[in-house]
Amino acid sequence: MSNCFILLAAGKGKRFKSKTLKQFINYKNKPLFMHSLDKAIKSNLFNEIIIVTNNKIKLRNNKIKIIKGGKERYQSSQKALEFIKNKKFNNVFIHDAARPNFSINLLKKLKKYLNKNKAVVPYINTDNSTKYANKKKVVNLKREKVMLTQTPQCFNFKTLYNLSKINKTLVTDEATLFLNNNKKVKFIKGEEANIKITKKSDLKKYPIKTFYGIGFDIHRLIKNKKLYLGGIKIPFHSGLKGHSDGDVILHSIIDAILGALRKKDIGTLYPSNKNKFKNIRSKKMLKPIISDLENNNFFINNLDINLICERPKVSKYRNKIINSLSKLMSIDKNIINLKGKTVEKLGLIGKENAIACEAIVSINKYE
Ligand code: ZN
């Protein structure tokens, strides 16, 4: 199955009243459109990403193509569909750059429903009493029946392409094309935070929330075992004893993340009495936790680590460990700090019979 993500960023945003177009304004530490783009990339769902814009953007990524938009939204969308018509994509996702707060989970959910449908569209209900102004009078609508539709919306490419080819009228989203032509749309629950940034005051809704977590771990050193720290093998006279590979750095990071999310601890997630986790590499324990973070709009913005041991010397392996952590956690190297701490030859650690580690992580929720 091949999927294409179309990001519509050609709007003029008249209601936004700003010199900088709203899709390029700084929002939660980056240009607004980048939120959607980064999530599309991180989801790993897409073979190609098309950005439709009338502005100059330079991005270095082979998967991304930038094309010029039309005057109206539906024209930009038509142009993008035309651009990819010979690329044989099965599915296409269309998203408005003005909605930066959706989660990767939503993308995955949409994709799942697309297996059995030709159009899948997220919606939310409203808490307001709703009325509809007819030509003659204002009528009351049943609130529970009112659906506010959002993007990303996803479609079987061929079906959408054919509908968009015959359409000549102004439609505000692709779901309308399906409904106007009596074609079925599967509506699924959307996300409250996935608002459309229209006015300047919308920027202040759903501010970034920051969470902190702390983790600590210690393992005994034993002969005839390999030493793993931060996901890599380190040459040493002993390795760390444990149910898994005993990687104290990864274990304290896992606990720090679970702490920030208030999800108990590593022992609850990976009980040591369970055989299936015996000798498991800690990398494997970390992976689902990182995906869970990203899928739910949490992003790590700082990680500080104290590795407490007499030897090996941290300075010798610092860069290697940081590179490994950066890869495993898909975060920038610049937000990781690793400190080495000796204990003046005191106690178990001082006699090189154990290694301990503490980690503190700071995590932003971007919705
Ligand atoms: Zn441990």
Q: How confident is the model at residue 11 (pLDDT cuts 50, 70, 90)?
A: confident
Q: Are residues 35 and 138 in the same domain?
A: yes
Q: Are residues 212 and 326 in the same domain?
A: yes
* 229 CA distance to ligand 1 middle (Å): 11
Which one of 148, 181, 204 terminates a domain? 204
Q: Are residues 352 and 261 in the same domain?
A: yes
Domain hosting residue 31, numbered range: 3-204
Label each residue of 23-57 as H, E or C. HHCEECCEEHHHHHHHHHHHCCCCCEEEEECCCCC
pTM for the complete prediction?
Answer: 0.89
Neighbours of 243 (CB within 10 A): 17
* 104 CA distance to ligand 1 middle (Å): 30
Task: Read off the pLDDT of residues 342-358 as tens digits, 9 standing for 90 and up.
Answer: 999 999 999 999 999 99
Q: Are residues 81 and 94 in the same domain?
A: yes
Q: Are residues 333 and 225 in the same domain?
A: yes
Q: Are residues 25 and 163 in the same domain?
A: yes
The CATH number assigned to the domain holding 190 equals: 3.90.550.10
* 249 CA distance to ligand 1 middle (Å): 8
State the DSSP code for 242. Answer: S
Task: Read off the pLDDT of residues 99-148 as tens digits, 9 standing for 90 and up.
Answer: 999 999 999 999 999 999 999 999 999 999 999 998 889 999 999 999 99
Q: Are residues 196 and 270 in the same domain?
A: no
**Does the pLDDT value for residue 367 go beyond 90?**
no
Helix axes 248-260, 282-295, angle to 10 degrees: 20
Looking at every residue in the chain, the average pLDDT score rounds to 94
Neighbours of 14 (CB within 10 A): 8
Q: Are residues 138 and 194 in the same domain?
A: yes
Task: Read off the pLDDT of residues 229-284 as tens digits, 9 standing for 90 and up.
Answer: 999 999 999 999 998 999 999 999 999 999 999 999 999 998 888 788 888 899 99
Which one of 154, 170, 204 terminates a domain? 204
Q: Are residues 187 and 276 in the same domain?
A: no
Per-residue buried b or exposed e for 229-239, using 16+ beta carbons within 10 Å of the residue's own CB: bbbbeeebebb
* 193 CA distance to ligand 1 middle (Å): 37
Compute the distance between CA of residue 292 and CA of residue 298 in angstroms, rounded to an integer: 9
* 230 CA distance to ligand 1 middle (Å): 12
Q: Are residues 243 and 331 in the same domain?
A: yes
Structure-token match 């956690």, residue found:
329
Task: Read off the pLDDT of residues 158-217 as tens digits, 9 standing for 90 and up.
Answer: 999 999 998 888 899 999 999 999 999 999 999 999 999 999 999 999 999 999 999 999
Q: Are residues 237 and 306 in the same domain?
A: yes
Q: Residues 6 or more apart from 196 whose CB is under 8 A from it?
A: 96, 98, 99, 150, 202
Helices (H), the chain: 32-42, 73-83, 104-114, 157-166, 174-180, 248-260, 266-269, 282-295, 314-328, 347-350
Predicted local distance difference test score (pLDDT) of residue 154: 98
Q: Are residues 256 and 162 in the same domain?
A: no
The CATH number assigned to the domain holding 301 equals: 3.30.1330.50
Tokens of 315: 């300075």
Q: Considering its fold, how many domains does the chain have in total?
A: 2
Compute the distance between CA of residue 127 and CA of residue 124 in angstroms, rounded to an integer: 10
Which one of 166, 184, 204 terminates a domain? 204
Name the percent of the chain lying above pLDDT 70. Answer: 100
